[in-house]
Chains A and B, each alone.
Chain A
Amino acid sequence: MTGTAGALAFLITRTTWNRIARQIARVKSPRYALALLAGLGYFWLVFARPGGTSRAAVASGFAPVMGSLAGIGLTVTVLVWWLGGGVTLALAFQPAEVQLLFPAPVTRRGLIAYRILRAQVLLLVSCVIWALLMRRWGVTIGAPLRFATAWALFSVMSLHRLATALVMVPPVLGGRRLLRWTGRMTAVAAILALVVGVGPELRRFGDLGFADGMRAVGAALTVPPASWALAPARLILAPLYATTPGAWALAFAAVAGVIVLHLGWLFAMDVEFEDVAATASAELAKRIAVFKSRRAGGVAIVRPGKVTRDWLPLEPVGLPAVAIVWKNTISLIRTGIVRTVMILAVILVVTSRLLSSTADGGGGAALALPFAALALVIFALGPRAVRNDLRQDLLNLASIKSYPLTGAAVVAAEMTSPTLVLTLLQLMMVVAGYFTMPASARTALGGGPTAALVVLTPVALLALNAMTIGIQNAAALIFPGWVRLGPDSGGIEAIGQTLLVTIGSMIALLLSLIAPALAGSVVFVLAKPALGVTAAAPAIAAGLVVLAAEIALLVSALGRVFARTDPTAIT
């Protein structure tokens, strides 16, 4: 092995080994070990449990459907590479690779070989997951063959994308110009073949109905001219349909041949791709940062030039903690959550109007159920999605701790924005649900209960959301290692960690509701002889008072934790 090849091989093997070693080392920590177990349990339930095995899938005829869909997906993907822009992103290297390898005495073919081999490492890992998924989709071949099939399939796609990217590197001259023209013409011909083959069936789709329409489209895809367009995809998907090892070996050999041809194509080209690769690397790094940021906190990195108008005023004097609420609300505006809320509001209003216009014939209060269900979903999942609080700001803890505010003031201010947003969302659901009910159902509620609902609902939602957000913030502050505060490495243990934190938060919420429920029950029992069922109103009010007291205690306690938290402890 030459010096350069040896160095590149060292880079790949050490990087892979160090990553594995780091994962193993993390599992020594009970926290990660527990999270890994939870993650593996989740993984097993979703992908590998005995239920829903291949036989059932085969019996239901699911496998051929998935095969057809996969064929179309692969074909469309390749067409986009040839006809659309952006394929040069396939030439992206990691920032450190650009910095160290591009100026190093490595040939372009060496860099391409390195790029292919590095991709293989990730590809092999994902093939394990795909092999499991294939089993659930009804592919009957054994596990090692499923793994090999997945590897061959993704290798072909990966190599073809890389080769297409090299063809597209400007300036496209000589042989590459001919290649680009041929590729694009083939892509156009494939589109025409698909349109001519499937178009008539699509036009008849409405008359045939969904099931028959799908069957007709499926049949059209198997005969010329549409089958010509799908022929390459069918070739590399063929091992999936093999029912015997012999048939599989033949199909796999064909795909292996395609791989060899692609390798030959790649190494035959000698393209000056460095400039394009450096640009693609920077773009990819930016996209990864945005993705990680979104995954970390539901708050994306705001792309430059997309700053929205400054419509949220902030007076320079007044309660200082309001500045944090303002800042966190700006964060929501900038990251599109407010826009989503507005779109949701419009959809809800339109839907409720449509439903109420057809509700005279029946349905009654049941029409409000979808909105109630949505409000519940927001209550359950909202606090994990809307994270413009300490979960976002703990990464700036050093800065925030220097502010002239008490710990409790910071915690209360941090909790305010997500609490208000979630409450607003749920109130929209409640209002939409109420007005969706027919007038007769609304009248049946009576004036007193309606007035009590109008007063108590916003307060109750506010208190419940404050408690759920408080619990999420408490988890972040007390157990920062357990809550995703920023970009992390992901992996199975990260999934397990999320599961455990979710379960822990739910238990904490249930515990926090015991005292309010008791207080409410006592008031109800005492007031019922005098007030009848309307005793529910003072009972709920009493429960809310106790809940508010608990929230105040929580904020005070978290304030003390915040004050003594060392920024270096937050990772």
Chain B
Amino acid sequence: MIEVFGLSKSYGAITAVDGLSFAVAPGEVLGLVGPNGAGKTTTLRSLCGIINPTAGTIRVAGHDLAREGPKAKALLAFVPDEPQLFDYLTVEEHLKFVGRLYGVADAPARAPALLEELELTEKRRALPGELSRGMKQKLAIACGLLHRPRALILDEPLTGLDPAGIKKMRATIAARAREGAAVILSSHLLNLVEELCTRLLVIRRGKCVALGTLAEIVAERPALAGLSLEDIFLSLTGDDGGTA
């Protein structure tokens, strides 16, 4: 569903992402992990067409993002870590807007269910200024899910959510994957990554240091055997990491 070949992004002399290649199949949840500044957000933003890669190719369901942007983007949804909402649109108007953008014919029927699922029904006529940080995040998630994306890209999606919201969001992500969506999930919450992700992509300084299931990663690095995911992460991404 999502295929990435040699993705690089540079800002002047700084290389934020350096030659990443990976693929995410339908129903798969890829966990993108790495320390702060590793290039996770840059990678995710490149995958959504928000920023243009310096080099490399990104394909979504066979559509080249650079050449067939609108076709590829129509299949994608991106939920950023910091929700960007329009101050003057209410909650339900955000969904109406997104419904038209993505041509969701059953949006009027689907939106109420989505609002109910994300516990936003009571706030459907509220403006973003009246919402808490967690509710804003839920609205951004609802906007992302409305058009039943075949590729779901989530950057720290649980930021600001309460425990009940986190539990519900975990279930939502898992359900979308079961329905056949390819999911890329970036998070510092390693227990979430361990629970939801079928494979891991660990990056450090823009480069891939590990890619595969947890078992595959450990199998390639016997020194990591028996360690917790947290220790494995620290070992892979520490200054002496990436070589373990």
Point out residues on A near B: beta carbons under 8 Å: 293, 299, 301-305, 307, 310, 314-318, 320, 322-324, 326-327, 330-331, 334-335, 396-399, 401-406, 409, 563-564, 566-568
Minimum distance in angstroms from A422 CB to a CB of chain B? 19
Q: Are A402 and B125 in contact (CB under 8 A)?
A: no
Contacts A396-B86, A404-B71; A330 near B93 (Cβ below 8 A): yes
Out of B50, B72, B97, name the residue touching A323 (CB < 8 Å): B97
Q: Are B105 and A317 in contact (CB under 8 A)?
A: yes
29 contacts between A and B (CB under 8 A): A301-B87, A302-B87, A304-B127, A304-B129, A307-B90, A314-B100, A315-B100, A316-B96, A317-B100, A317-B103, A320-B100, A320-B103, A323-B97, A324-B101, A331-B88, A334-B88, A398-B45, A398-B50, A398-B80, A401-B51, A402-B48, A402-B50, A402-B73, A404-B71, A404-B74, A405-B73, A566-B52, A567-B51, A568-B51
Chain B residue nearest to A335 (CB atoms) is B88
B125 contacts across to A, CB distance below 8 A:
307
- Find the residue from A299, A304, A316, A406 having the highest chain B CB count within 10 A: A316
Q: Are B93 and A310 in contact (CB under 8 A)?
A: yes
Minimum distance in angstroms from B9 CB to a CB of chain A? 9
Contacts A317-B103, A404-B74; A563 near B69 (Cβ below 8 A): yes
Per the bound structure, the CA–CA distance linking A301 and B128 in Å amounts to 10
Out of A301, A307, A406, name the residue touching B69 (CB < 8 Å): A406
Q: Are A566 and B87 in contact (CB under 8 A)?
A: no
Per the bound structure, the CA–CA distance linking A314 and B108 in Å amounts to 10
Q: Does B104 contact A (CB under 8 A)?
A: yes
B191 contacts across to A, CB distance below 8 A:
none
A316 contacts across to B, CB distance below 8 A:
96, 99-100, 103-108
Q: Does B22 contact A (CB under 8 A)?
A: no
Tally of A-B residue pairs with Cβ under 8 A? Answer: 104
Contacts A326-B100, A567-B50; A402 near B76 (Cβ below 8 A): yes
B89 contacts across to A, CB distance below 8 A:
327, 330
B84 contacts across to A, CB distance below 8 A:
396, 398-399
- Find the residue from B71, B74, B76, B86 having the highest chain A CB count within 10 A: B86
Minimum distance in angstroms from B86 CB to a CB of chain A? 6
Per the bound structure, the CA–CA distance linking A564 and B69 in Å amounts to 12
- Which 5 residue pairs across A and B have the least CB separation, nearest first? A323-B100, A404-B74, A404-B73, A399-B84, A316-B107
Per the bound structure, the CA–CA distance linking A349 and B183 in Å amounts to 58
- Find the residue from A315, A323, A331, A402 having the highest chain B CB count within 10 A: A402
Chain B residue nearest to A323 (CB atoms) is B100
Binary flags per residue of B55-93, CB closer than 8 Å to A gives 1, else 0: 000000000000001111110101010001011111001
Binary flags per residue of B24-58, CB closer than 8 Å to A gives 1, else 0: 00000000000000000000010011111000000
Q: Are A402 and B103 in contact (CB under 8 A)?
A: no
Chain A residue nearest to B90 (CB atoms) is A307
Out of A303, A322, A401, name the residue touching B50 (CB < 8 Å): A401
Per the bound structure, the CA–CA distance linking A403 and B70 in Å amounts to 7
How many interface residues does chain B have, given as a range? 35 or more
Per the bound structure, the CA–CA distance linking A382 and B193 in Å amounts to 52
Besides A316-B99, A318-B103, A399-B80, 11 other A-B contacts (C-beta < 8 A)? A293-B87, A302-B88, A304-B129, A305-B130, A320-B101, A327-B86, A397-B50, A402-B73, A563-B69, A566-B51, A568-B11
B106 contacts across to A, CB distance below 8 A:
316
Q: Are B70 and A405 in contact (CB under 8 A)?
A: yes
Contacts A304-B130, A568-B51; A327 near B104 (Cβ below 8 A): no
- Find the residue from A302, A335, A397 having the highest chain B CB count within 10 A: A302
A405 contacts across to B, CB distance below 8 A:
70, 73, 101
Per the bound structure, the CA–CA distance linking A15 and B78 in Å amounts to 39
- Find the residue from B72, B97, B100, B108 having the highest chain A CB count within 10 A: B100
A330 contacts across to B, CB distance below 8 A:
88-89, 93
Q: Are B69 and A323 in contact (CB under 8 A)?
A: no
Q: Does B161 contact A (CB under 8 A)?
A: no
Q: Does B118 contact A (CB under 8 A)?
A: no
Q: Does B126 contact A (CB under 8 A)?
A: yes
A303 contacts across to B, CB distance below 8 A:
129
Per the bound structure, the CA–CA distance linking A299 and B88 in Å amounts to 9
Per the bound structure, the CA–CA distance linking A304 and B69 in Å amounts to 37
Binary flags per residue of B93-127, CB closer than 8 Å to A gives 1, else 0: 10011111111111110000000000000000111
Out of B51, B97, B103, name the residue touching A326 (CB < 8 Å): B97
A566 contacts across to B, CB distance below 8 A:
51-52
Out of A307, A314, A324, A403, name the residue touching B127 (CB < 8 Å): A307
Out of A301, A315, A398, A568, name the residue touching B129 (CB < 8 Å): A301
A396 contacts across to B, CB distance below 8 A:
84, 86
Minimum distance in angstroms from B220 CB to a CB of chain A? 34
B11 contacts across to A, CB distance below 8 A:
568
Q: Are B87 and A404 in contact (CB under 8 A)?
A: no
Minimum distance in angstroms from B53 CB to a CB of chain A? 11
Minimum distance in angstroms from B221 CB to a CB of chain A? 35
Q: Are B70 and A318 in contact (CB under 8 A)?
A: no
B69 contacts across to A, CB distance below 8 A:
404, 406, 563
Per the bound structure, the CA–CA distance linking A299 and B89 in Å amounts to 13
Per the bound structure, the CA–CA distance linking A303 and B126 in Å amounts to 10
Q: Are A404 and B100 in contact (CB under 8 A)?
A: no
A404 contacts across to B, CB distance below 8 A:
69-74, 101-102
Per the bound structure, the CA–CA distance linking A307 and B130 in Å amounts to 11
Q: Are B127 and A302 in contact (CB under 8 A)?
A: yes
Minimum distance in angstroms from B159 CB to a CB of chain A? 16
Q: Are A323 and B127 in contact (CB under 8 A)?
A: no
Q: Are A302 and B70 in contact (CB under 8 A)?
A: no
Minimum distance in angstroms from B75 CB to a CB of chain A? 8
Minimum distance in angstroms from B110 CB to a CB of chain A? 9
Minimum distance in angstroms from A414 CB to a CB of chain B? 13
Per the bound structure, the CA–CA distance linking A316 and B90 in Å amounts to 16
B127 contacts across to A, CB distance below 8 A:
302, 304, 307
Per the bound structure, the CA–CA distance linking A566 and B51 in Å amounts to 5
Q: Are B88 and A318 in contact (CB under 8 A)?
A: no
A323 contacts across to B, CB distance below 8 A:
97-98, 100-101
B76 contacts across to A, CB distance below 8 A:
402
Q: Are A406 and B87 in contact (CB under 8 A)?
A: no
- Find the residue from A293, A315, A318, A335 having the highest chain B CB count within 10 A: A315
Per the bound structure, the CA–CA distance linking A398 and B49 in Å amounts to 9
Chain B residue nearest to A409 (CB atoms) is B70
Chain A residue nearest to B92 (CB atoms) is A310
A324 contacts across to B, CB distance below 8 A:
101
A304 contacts across to B, CB distance below 8 A:
126-127, 129-130
Per the bound structure, the CA–CA distance linking A327 and B48 in Å amounts to 22
A317 contacts across to B, CB distance below 8 A:
100, 103-105
A409 contacts across to B, CB distance below 8 A:
70
Minimum distance in angstroms from B113 CB to a CB of chain A? 15
Minimum distance in angstroms from B44 CB to a CB of chain A? 10
Q: Are B97 and A402 in contact (CB under 8 A)?
A: no
Chain B residue nearest to A289 (CB atoms) is B129
